[in-house]
Amino acid sequence: MNSAVKVPLVHITRRKNIVWYRAWIVRVVAVIMALILCGIVTMLLVGANPIDVYKTMVVGNFGTARKIWFMLQDLAILLIISLALAPAFRMRFWNLGGDGQALMGCLGATTIMILFRDSMPNWLLIICMLLAALFGGALWAFIPAFFKSKWNTNETLFTLMMNYVATQLVAYFVVFWENPKGSSKIGIINQRTQLGWLPTIGGNKYILIIIVAVLLTVGMFVYMRYSKHGYEISVVGESEPTARYVGIKVRKVIIRTLILSGAICGLAGFLLVSGTDHTMTTTLVGGRGFTGVMVAWLAKFNPFFMVITSFVLVFLGRGASEISTMFGLNDSFGAILTGIILFFIIGCEFFLNYELHFRHGKNKEVQ
């Protein structure tokens, strides 16, 4: 230790390339380590058998046919919102307004559903609801995009704040259409007539939503990978000056992409209102606009990987809820386990991007 140059204990360098299968081994190991830590935490805090806990998580998702459908529906909605966010993020536009955009979709669909239920045939009503939802979502994304492209406002804050505006708007209209008076809830809309409800396929209201999610996944993959728009998005994301240099109209790309992003969020809102819940509440989207950010990032904006990451998150969420029911625990315990697992999953991305070098031991890498 007499050397003149002070070597830090650990120094971090960027990893150049990692073979895909090694990357996946690291991820799998991370998940397994997370599960082991969860097991230890479970035993220490609750005294339950961790294997039973994991079993309960699986049962919570796959226990019965009905549970599988619920899980797939949950997965589909989360995936759609994540897909909506992906192009914006690829463009390095931090759209944190997925919740608000989806809520505006809900509001658009609900408005048409309530105001025009008696004045047009059901198929037309559903189409109008869809258009209103797409418009609502797109509008909520267009506003921050417009300000960003015109005055370079901070889109992170802007989109975040738009969530609160949307929540308050929905709260206002919930009171406006409340039933019964004073209760601040709308309840199931058109429960008797089922006007504005998406048709069921074989008595199952989830299949259609799942089909939409599958189509959208493929569509988004093609759009981002093979279309001119997709190319422009990635160039703008890499470097705005470059994009400008090669003649891409950056402002136009930003606005166009955000309108798309918001409209797809609006679609998710439409599916919630027309497809499953048939009501509107301020918590209907349930933070999926934020969970979707994680889904999209973890999958590096690849729509097919997003299917996997959104499955992981939905699995953890539903599993956690099942744990709390079966073991008589608070929901928070499930949240702790989910937190541990996500910590490892996100943490391992660090080791995939960077290498650690320790001072002694001749630059031995850790992972």
Partner 1 sequence: MKNFKKVLALLLAAIFVVGILAACSGNGGGQQGGGEQGSEEQGGGEQQTTPEEGGEQGGAETTLKVGLICLHDENSTYDLNFINAFKQVCSELGLVEGESYFIKVNKGENEECYQAACELVDSGCSIIFADSFGHEDYMLQAAIENPDVQFCHATGTKAHTENVANYHNAFASIYEGRYLAGIAAGMKINAMIEEGKITPEQTKMGYVGAYPYAEVKSGYTSFYLGAKSVCPTVTMLVTFTNSWYDETLEKTGAQTLIDQGCVLISQHADSMGAPTACEAAGVPNVSYNGSTISAAPNTFIVSSRIDWAPYYRYAIDCVKNGQPIDVDYVGTLETGSVCLTEVNEAVAAPGTVEAIEAAKAEMQAGTLHVFDTANFTKGGETLTSYLADVDDMGDFAPETEVISDGYFHESEYRSAPYFDIDIDGITILGE
Closer residue to partner 1 (CB): 255 or 285? 285
Which of 15, 27, 67, 92 touches partner 1 by CB under 8 A? 67
Residue spans of alpha helices (H) in the chain: 20-45, 50-62, 65-90, 98-115, 122-151, 155-176, 207-226, 228-238, 240-245, 250-270, 288-298, 303-326, 331-353
| Residues 277, 283, 288: CA angle, nearest 5 degrees | 90
Q: Establish if 330 lies at the interface with partner 1 (CB under 8 A).
A: yes
Q: Establish if 121 lies at the interface with partner 1 (CB under 8 A).
A: no
Closer residue to partner 1 (CB): 169 or 326? 326
What does 32-56 look like in DSSP terms, one character per residue? HHHHHHHHHHHHHHT---HHHHHHH
The interface with partner 1 within residues 139-178 (CB under 8 A) comprises 171, 175
Q: Establish if 344 lies at the interface with partner 1 (CB under 8 A).
A: no
Q: Please name every residue paired with 8 in a beta bridge, in sequence order, or none if there are none.
A: none
Closer residue to partner 1 (CB): 56 or 159? 56
Helix axes 65-90, 288-298, angle to 10 degrees: 70
Which of 326, 336, 352, 356 touches partner 1 by CB under 8 A? 326
Distance CA 63, CA 13 (A): 45
CA separation, residue 237 to residues 89, 94, 152, 364 (Å): 8, 11, 15, 35
Left, alpha or beta for 187 (phi > 0: left; psi -120 to 50: alpha)?
A: left
**DSSP assignment letter at 17:** -
Q: Establish if 183 lies at the interface with partner 1 (CB under 8 A).
A: yes
Are 221 and 75 in contact by the 8 Å Cβ rule? The answer is no
Which of 116, 229, 244, 277 touches partner 1 by CB under 8 A? 277
Q: Establish if 36 lies at the interface with partner 1 (CB under 8 A).
A: yes
Which of 1, 19, 65, 246 touches partner 1 by CB under 8 A? 65
Contact mark string toward partner 1, 279..318, x via CB under 8 A: x-x-xx-x------------------------x-------
Q: Establish if 72 lies at the interface with partner 1 (CB under 8 A).
A: yes
Question: Which SS3 state, helix, strand or coil, does residue 281 take?
Answer: coil
Are 82 and 306 in contact by the 8 Å Cβ rule? The answer is yes
Q: Establish if 57 lies at the interface with partner 1 (CB under 8 A).
A: yes
Minimum separation from the CB atom of position 359 to partner 1 (A): 15
Question: Which SS3 state, helix, strand or coil, does residue 30 take?
Answer: helix
Q: Establish if 341 lies at the interface with partner 1 (CB under 8 A).
A: no
112: which 2 tokens? 């048409």
Q: Establish if 359 lies at the interface with partner 1 (CB under 8 A).
A: no
Minimum separation from the CB atom of position 223 to partner 1 (A): 24
Q: Establish if 267 lies at the interface with partner 1 (CB under 8 A).
A: no
Minimum separation from the CB atom of position 231 to partner 1 (A): 32
Closer residue to partner 1 (CB): 234 or 367? 367
Closer residue to partner 1 (CB): 45 or 124? 45
Which of 257, 325, 250, 310 shows the shortest CA–CA distance to 63?
325
Minimum separation from the CB atom of position 65 to partner 1 (A): 5
| Interface positions with partner 1 (CB under 8 A) | 29, 32-33, 35-36, 50-51, 54-59, 61-70, 72, 171, 175, 179-185, 187-188, 191, 204, 210, 272, 276-277, 279, 281, 283-284, 286, 311, 321, 324-328, 330-331, 361, 364
